[in-house]
Structure 1
């Protein structure tokens, strides 16, 4: 079952990449804007950051628990996501604008998470080498 899981995971990743590239091409050719290289992608990336911090502040077991800050960050997340969706809908059709906003979230997660993992790997590697000296 392990090999099947790996094959399905790789197929899922390749399918997602194919979907993102085909929809980015459609957005660029039909409506004149890109999937990643535009301001709505920046709004999406910032909303993912505010969503992360809202989850951290909203965790009752965390030392940084602050429900007022968590609520403010959740409202900011919704406002940024709504703004990105609104801009995309204004530039295209309603259906495609909502769809491309959803795909921008998938692309942002697919870009930000690996960058975070790479950064933390090299950071941990540097700390570990200093500890062994």
Structure 2
């Protein structure tokens, strides 16, 4: 809903239902395909796209629809070593991933530990 409100689209539906999620995704995509739109690009950052709540086919489809729009840019991170196996061939094509392995090889506890020295 934050994206819908940010681009000033008028919608009359309750968020949180399966139908509303797909409808809102379509509205956002259609807005960014319109050449006469006010906002030229949308950048979406998803941390841990392989997280449990984002593994459903519906969520992957909605994110894939957004990512397949040329004016919507999706940046995502993964934590699971086999994250590529979570996306089937159709979803992978929708996302058109560019993969960069930036593994730190640090334990999870070290990865999430606050850094006090900005030079580290």
Length-normalised TM-score, structure 2: 0.25
Structure 1 or 2: more helix by fraction: 1
Higher strand fraction (1 or 2):
2
- Return the index of the structure with the highest Cα Rg: 1
Q: TM-score, normalised by structure 1?
A: 0.24
